[in-house]
Amino acid sequence: MGLLHFFKSYPKNDNLEWLGVDMHSHLLPAIDDGSPDVATSVNYIKQLAELGLSKFICTPHIFNEVYPNSKKTIQPALLQTQQEVKNQNINVEIFAAAEYMMDVDFLEILKNEEILTLPNNYILIEMSYAAKNNNIEQYIFDLSIKGYKPILAHPERYKYYHANLKQYKRFKDMGCLLQVNALSVTGYYGKDVKDVALTLIKQNLIDLVGTDTHHQKHLDALSDYTRKGKFYELLGKCDMQNKSLFM
């Protein structure tokens, strides 16, 4: 049975109310490669709310070589955004966690700094797109031992795993949840990423969906595919845990 046949019978739904919570985005202003200022942040949030999302857990990068963020940089950006959302009477909830790069610097962060988690001690982690991290399983183990619950961001985008689907299952066996980017299933990041994303979904390996919104091009593509019912068709009946874990 082909992937198209597997998904095509789902009904059309032209909003994201079924998802409810965006647990991966770069909507906080001027601290990473996402929104450049508060006005833009609120504009992005408003557009996403119009698509049916009602809760946002913003996850700015923490990657010391490029984005050396911490609670000291993230909390003020969050408060600014929350205040402006309130001023504009946009009826959504805004929170902040972080997206942690798994590299040698993270060990120092884990040892010396307050970890910014999603609710219930979930932590969003990522790897380099360019090169495989041979220590990733040790990082996941270390996090678990300390009581954190790792979520691997956009596993479909790590092309060095595309020929090794067993690695994705290994992550799951270790207790690591997997989060797909909504736009991955559209081909936005390329056909190979789309194919792997759909395969992981079909094999019930994906637990969560994030928009990973950085800029207006992402929002335009998200709006287009949402209004056409494509995201519900591909993801809406796949038992995603955004609401059950974070609403």
The residues spanned by each domain of the chain are 14-246
**Can you tell me the mean pLDDT for 227-246?**
93
Confidence of residue 5 (pLDDT cuts 50, 70, 90): very low
Select from 64, 55, 61, 54 the least CA-distant residue to 30. Answer: 61
Q: Do residues 36 and 29 lie in contact, with contact meaning Cβ atoms separated by under 8 Å?
A: yes
DSSP lists the bridge partners of residue 126 as: 101
Question: Using one digit for the tens of pLDDT, what is the confidence trace for 70-128?
Answer: 999 999 999 999 999 999 999 999 999 999 999 999 999 999 889 999 999 999 999 99
Rounded to whole angstroms, the Cα distance separating 32 from 212 reads 13
Better pLDDT: 24 or 1:
24
Output the pLDDT for position 212: 98
Distances (CA, A) of 193 to 130, 183, 226: 14, 10, 19
Q: CB-based contacts of 5: which residues, under 8 Å, 6+ apart?
A: none
**Can you tell me the mean pLDDT for 217-225?**
98
**Can you tell me the mean pLDDT for 39-45?**
98
Q: Tokens 């395969």: give the residue.
A: 199
Length of the chain: 247
Which top CATH class is 14-246? alpha beta
Rounded to whole angstroms, the Cα distance separating 212 from 191 reads 18
Structure tokens at 224: 């287009």
Output the pLDDT for position 12: 60
Output the pLDDT for position 96: 98
